[in-house]
Structure 1
Amino acid sequence: MLLSTSTLLASLVAAPALLAAASSPSPVARAPNIVFIIVDDQDARQDSISTMQNVQRLLVDQGTQFSRFYAPISVCCPSRTSFLRAQAAHNTNITSVVAPWGGWEVFNEKGYNGHYLPSFLQDAGYSTYYTGKLMNGHTVRNFDRLEPEGWTETDWLLDPQTYNYWNASFSHNGEPVVYHPDEYSTDLVAERALGHIEKATANPDKPFFIGVAPIAPHSHIGIVDHTDQILFDMPQSAPRHQHLFKDVKLDYSRASHNPDHPSGASWVKKLEKLNVTNVEYIEEFYRQRLRSLQAVDELVESVVKKLEEKGVLDETIIIYTSDNGFEANAGHRRQPGKTLPYEEDINIPLVVRGPTVPKGLVDSTSVYSLADLGATILHLAGAVSDYDNDGALVPITKELRKTIDAEGVKQHHLAEYWVEGVGEGKYGQGLVLTNQTYRAVRVVEGDEINFSYAVWCTGEHEIYDLNADPDQMINLAETAVRSESLIKLQHRLDALLLVLKTCVGEVCRNPWKTVFPDGSVSSLNAGLEKRFDGYFADLPKVKYSYCDIGYHRRLEAPFWYDELAFNPKQKSSFVIQA
């Protein structure tokens, strides 16, 4: 049920503020070391991180966990690019894993190599190391021709073997590729990560950044025996973990689990109910995801032990996250996969421990993304980008949390997508799902406002109240009787999306300031006041001319322009500009 403006206002006034930071510690003598661990396709919605006992003991219990952390675009290469550039996907225009819309070749064609996170960290005095997957399209054929800049030492995990758990191909510092048949990929990444820590700590006067990127729990991709067919199937685990989680079941209680009635938008709304055999397969797929994560859990433990052994654990910020989420609960009748604007696809783990990071804190109030995390790492390192990046500062340290307490927490997230959906697993193999261009915004304010709003290229709209409907099954935009309060809410959400879909820099961080330049309104809740009804109703609405692959600005008019900002003296409707 939608709440009245007065109820929303009262609830937010009464809601507790973000947990206050503890007393300030002694200042760190230099910029912190940073170890950045990024896994592939681990969602937060199914809480798989709770099965990782070392992550729980060494990171969650010793640091801060963010429950509302998001992928800017739920597919690997674009999301990683948003992190490395601290930019929204509409500003990178890296929207796919393959050319012409994405991949390592396109990243280079756009001039981003040398103008991204590691280069800026090196400019700030850091040694930079990396092992594992950088992004899609970084291959055994182009790694030496298109060498990633900004790195002190690297061990790249390269396509086309990136997602083969048992035949990894690595290049050390651009040297010839070495293949590792019958060796487990995550263990190889762990071994190299420890080697990088050994070398990074050899120079105690220089801070370091180490990126560690295993592929788990991504689907396994290999070649079917005696054929040329590519297998895109459930993750594979190390033999030592194959006995685990045999009794784990999918969460059948979730309203979205293989529902009797269709839900969602576009192709999702046309899916047939899954049969028992398919659901049993997805259940084993999910167990394999959990098993594959156990080697990552061991990697985390070995990294923490190595940092402690080298005497730098207390000087090092350790960050654990994923590039995007993943649906593996037969949600909305789907095969395993990602790419949609639902929580399973975009809500990802973020756990941080280190000097001045609050210990044992679960932050469920703030709303941040990988683009914000990239900007935050730059800030912590004293580094700056050579362009206006879009990221806000994630309050991972006590100092940043004090700033957030004073200036206000970020409460919105923009999710974008412009390419096909892809099915994964045995029953999703070969599915290419069209008409999937969309823009979506998540807004979370206090305990009462928790909305998701999406506009699709098909002309469809989705509005979900996640407090009442956490599985996003009841699309309020398609209810038979649309209340006046719902219509007014949609006008506000659409205005926010109109600003965010072309935002750059500060506008991405504070879109309400663009709508209300005088600062009188800084939240959705405040914007729900009745006196703004006519203003929001008259604003142009987000739409697409038609569905196409890739980000084409010409298909996305109208756009925000400065004259649309609220002016209490203005009475007439706006002119829509192309």
Structure 2
Amino acid sequence: MEGYRFLYNLRICCAIVEIIAANSNAMDISSLLTDRRLDNNFLRQLGSTPINQCASLPPGKLSNYANRPNILIFMADDLGHADIGYSEGSHQTPTPNIDKFAYDGIILNRHYSHPLCTPTRSAFMTGKYAFQVGMQTGAISEGEPWGLPVAFKIQPQYFKDLGYSTYTVGKWHLGSHTRNHYPSSRGFDYSFGITSGDCNWYDFTAGWMKPVPVSGRALRENGKIFPLNQSTTPFPELIASRAENLIAASPPNKPWYMFFATPLTHTGFDNFDAVQHPVKEYHLHINESAILKFEERVKQLGSIHALDRTFARLVKALKRKGVLNNTIIIFVADNGAPLPESADFIHGTNHGSNWPLRQGKGTLFEGGIRTLSFIWAPMLQRRGFVYDDLFHISDWLPTLYEGAGGNTADLTGISAVSHWKRFHDYYAIGPVRDEVVNNIDGVTNQYSITIMEDNGKLYKLLGGNVFNNSYLGWRRTEGTSTSDEMKSWTPLSVNCNAPEGVERAPCQPWLTDCLFDITSEPCETNNIASVYPSTLRKLQLRLRALNDTAYPPQILPYDPASNPDLYDGFWVPWKDIHHVLDPTI
């Protein structure tokens, strides 16, 4: 009920915003604030709601803010490179709704993320590489007392400076051991979802199988435990409905920013070796008979189908509200799909496909970090093309900030760059990024950097460990073969320029650094370190210099004091000591 009360109060706030917009002198709204229909708890809980924000604006400012575009971030989880229609043209995974907006927008062909959820989300939020904010090592598991340091300003805080209302729905995964790490304390006016990496879709429990079996409920709204212990609606559908309602209730004359982070297509969390997609409506009517015997792959196809349906639902919500043509939509995956061969190291596999790219989630090979992304924005003068420039996920902060009318000079201390002007006039403006640091992690000993030479070629150094260094290969999409690839060509189809999945010059990065020409040979089958020693040395020196900018890794082990059994079965901010339990108001 609390969530619906929020939306009801927000609708009243919308009416107040409309009154203010109609009369810039009507800034004294004390009489409206005493409206008995308006829940005072709502105002206390959300001090930066549209009504309070409007009350603080100087006359004339509201109309300026209203001209800014809305921003919808749609982040997919553990999505394989080959698992969307527009990428490799897979016949297994029709995604017509996502494909339509990708082809009508700008597809980012060289979009790079970090190899795991937490590092990627920290870079996305801060506009800095994960190693520059202490989030370079691993993904946060429940009960671990670490998170994105609160000293770093993040996206919702920047967009609030531009007059935006800010919402987050879905997965957070940037810390929950103190309330200051909750999204409700980091610039979001409204938050609904889980702070963990995933949850059971029906009772919202999250936890560990190793080192000890432990689980607790993890669903929260505005930082407080959400009183729903069991649901007939699966979690992905629950958050999609919440996002639809937020769009419907959004103030008509005030821009909003929404970070929608779905758990689709992440591995299930009941056991870490199988896909958790028992939702009947997610199961596709598979046309390819060759895939039917691959039971887990079929479940994953249902999950991908649900991802496409969810995207369509949010687009329809924008249309119903009448704001689609003033909304920037970003589709982005946090990392590649986790392969079965690496399941023991990354909490399982979802049977997604990165083929023909090498390896997957948790590694710095292309299958783990070259991720799917596009931008759709009606205000862009040129759309419907493939953007081949290097783009790092941290670049979304300055790019969107500039797209919203902000001055990127205000974004002090970030390492990301804006591509907004380049999007507008691709041929008049040169590339804005000539290197991407895929990660530098001294704890697990993983590091990689990609640079663009003056001739436009991309060279990539990769060194250190790959889990336990037992598997570094490629995995063909389940159900396919060389005689039946189940795909059609697309503008993004990767051409390996060599036999797919066959290593020519071996790469053993735990012994010596590897070097790849990923322009000519994007599938990383040919290690050319011995052929181009000067290029290798150049990248090694650059990595060494960048490592000097590293922030100390924040990772810490599981703390038994966090055990949900101590708190009625809930994960709580146990490190707050005096504020572990939710406030009563």
Q: TM-score band (shorter)?
A: 0.5 to 0.7
| Equivalent in 171, 195, 200 of residue 164 of structure 1 | 200
1:69 and 2:76 are equivalent in the alignment: no
**What aligned pairs does 1:31-46 form with structure 2 within 5 A after superposition?**
31-44=68-81
Per-residue deviation, 1:146: 8.0
Determine the C-alpha separation between the residues in 1 that align with 2:86 and 2:142: 29
Q: Which residue of 1 aligns with 2:134?
A: 93
RMSD: 3.9
| Equivalent in 317, 320, 323 of residue 312 of structure 1 | 323
Determine the C-alpha separation between the residues in 2 that align with 1:179 and 1:471: 45
Determine the C-alpha separation between the residues in 2 that align with 1:45 and 1:447: 29
Per-residue deviation, 1:127: 0.5
Matched residues, number: 415
Which runs of 5 or more residues in structure 1 are unaligned?
Answer: 1-26, 223-229, 251-279, 421-435, 505-547, 553-578
Per-residue deviation, 1:399: 6.5
Q: Which residue of 1 aligns with 2:462?
A: 454
What do the CA deviations read for 1:47-96 (whole angstroms, capped 9, x no partner)? Answer: 56553111112x1132111111011x211112101111111112101124
1:369·1:413 contact (CA, 8 Å) conserved in 2?
yes
1:210 and 2:258 are equivalent in the alignment: yes
1:130·1:153 contact (CA, 8 Å) conserved in 2?
yes
1:303 and 2:326 are equivalent in the alignment: no
| Equivalent in 150, 153, 159 of residue 111 of structure 1 | 150
Determine the C-alpha separation between the residues in 2 that align with 1:302 and 1:193: 9
1:450·1:467 contact (CA, 8 Å) conserved in 2?
yes
1:187 and 2:187 are equivalent in the alignment: no
**When the two structures are superposed, what TM-score results if normalisation uses the length of structure 2?**
0.62
Distance 1:305 1:167, change over 3 A: same
Residue identity opposite 1:471 in structure 2 = C
Per-residue deviation, 1:129: 1.0
Determine the C-alpha separation between the residues in 1 that align with 2:380 and 2:127: 21
**What aligned pairs does 1:137-152 form with structure 2 within 5 A after superposition?**
137-138=175-176, 147-152=184-189
Q: Which residue of 1 aligns with 2:418?
A: 393
**What aligned pairs does 1:208-287 form with structure 2 within 5 A after superposition?**
208-222=256-270, 230-236=271-277, 238-245=279-286, 247=288, 284-287=295-298
1:33·1:208 contact (CA, 8 Å) conserved in 2?
yes
Determine the C-alpha separation between the residues in 2 that align with 1:155 and 1:98: 20
SS in 1 for 2:374: strand
Residue identity opposite 2:336 in structure 1 = G
Per-residue deviation, 1:116: 1.2
Determine the C-alpha separation between the residues in 2 that align with 1:208 and 1:84: 16
Determine the C-alpha separation between the residues in 1 that align with 2:378 and 2:144: 34
Identity of aligned residues (%): 19
Q: Which residue of 1 aligns with 2:332?
A: 321
Per-residue deviation, 1:475: 2.0
Distance 1:471 1:235, change over 3 A: farther
Q: Which residue of 2 aligns with 1:466?
A: 518
Determine the C-alpha separation between the residues in 2 that align with 1:247 and 1:333: 30
1:377 and 2:394 are equivalent in the alignment: no
Which runs of 5 or more residues in structure 2 are unaligned?
Answer: 1-63, 88-93, 205-217, 350-359, 466-509, 557-585
Determine the C-alpha separation between the residues in 2 that align with 1:286 and 1:175: 36
Q: Which residue of 1 aligns with 2:367?
A: 344
| Equivalent in 498, 504, 510 of residue 544 of structure 2 | 498
Per-residue deviation, 1:152: 1.7
Determine the C-alpha separation between the residues in 1 that align with 2:139 and 2:265: 21
Per-residue deviation, 1:342: 0.9
SS in 1 for 2:449: strand
Residue identity opposite 2:413 in structure 1 = D
**What aligned pairs does 1:493-532 form with structure 2 within 5 A after superposition?**
493-502=539-548
Distance 1:450 1:36, change over 3 A: same
**What aligned pairs does 1:554-573 form with structure 2 within 5 A after superposition?**
none
Residue identity opposite 1:131 in structure 2 = V
Determine the C-alpha separation between the residues in 2 that align with 1:355 and 1:321: 18
SS in 2 for 1:81: helix
Determine the C-alpha separation between the residues in 2 that align with 1:446 and 1:90: 27
Single out whichever of 407-416 and 312-321 deviates more from structure 2.
407-416
1:132·1:214 contact (CA, 8 Å) conserved in 2?
yes
Residue identity opposite 1:370 in structure 2 = I
Distance 1:214 1:408, change over 3 A: closer
2:70·2:327 contact (CA, 8 Å) conserved in 1?
yes
Determine the C-alpha separation between the residues in 2 that align with 1:180 and 1:159: 18
Distance 1:472 1:325, change over 3 A: same
Q: Which residue of 2 aligns with 1:176?
A: 225
1:365 and 2:388 are equivalent in the alignment: yes
Distance 1:63 1:346, change over 3 A: same
1:130 and 2:168 are equivalent in the alignment: yes
Determine the C-alpha separation between the residues in 2 that align with 1:29 and 1:405: 30
Per-residue deviation, 1:246: 6.6
Distance 1:503 1:365, change over 3 A: farther
Q: Which residue of 1 aligns with 2:451?
A: 443
Per-residue deviation, 1:410: 1.8
**When the two structures are superposed, what TM-score results if normalisation uses the length of structure 1?**
0.63
2:284·2:305 contact (CA, 8 Å) conserved in 1?
no
